[in-house]
Amino acid sequence: MNIFNDIHTYLIISFFGMIFFLYKYAYHSTSDILRKKIDTISNLINSVEDRKKSAENEFFALEKAIKEATEEANVAVQNAEKKAENILRSSEKSMGTIIEQKQKEYKEAMSKIKSSMFLEIKDQIVALIVKDAVEILNSKKINRETHNTAIEKSIEMLRKESENITP
């Protein structure tokens, strides 16, 4: 039994000695590291909360601005409707010519818009085709001169084809 008491005493002394050395040399540095990490996490959480509040404030401000703009637009529409009614009442004869003129302007504007949209779409399609052709040629193992010649021929062919297309 004496051996067991000695072993237990040795284990207890070793255990408390280990606790003492850990406390003396590791506890403070570990505690400081954990405290710094806790502070960093706390600061990040505060920053996120501030950003959330800021985003909410901006959201509410934008929502308010949208409501105000909608109200202004409604007022503008109502004013325009009143002016249109006054014009109709005051000059029924001239209205026919005004309507025809406006329809002509509308058709011209729509024609210009269609034409510009068509040209823009055509340019985008050509750019996409050239991009795809370049990617296909890049994926094949051919020399640089053949590669450049193929791209130039493709671009020239697309130019000729795009000139034939009209809106």
Average pLDDT over residues 87-96: 71
CB 136 within 8 Å of CB 154: no
Residues 6+ away with beta carbon under 8 Å from 114: 167
Q: Binning pLDDT at 50, 70 and 90, where does residue 167 land?
A: low
* Tens digit of each residue's pLDDT (9 = 90 or more) over 65-88: 999 999 999 999 999 998 888 877
Whether the pTM exceeds 0.85: the reply is no
CB 122 within 8 Å of CB 162: yes
User: In the predicted model, is pLDDT for residue 165 greater than 70?
Assistant: no
Q: How far apart are CA 165 and CA 119, in angstroms?
A: 10
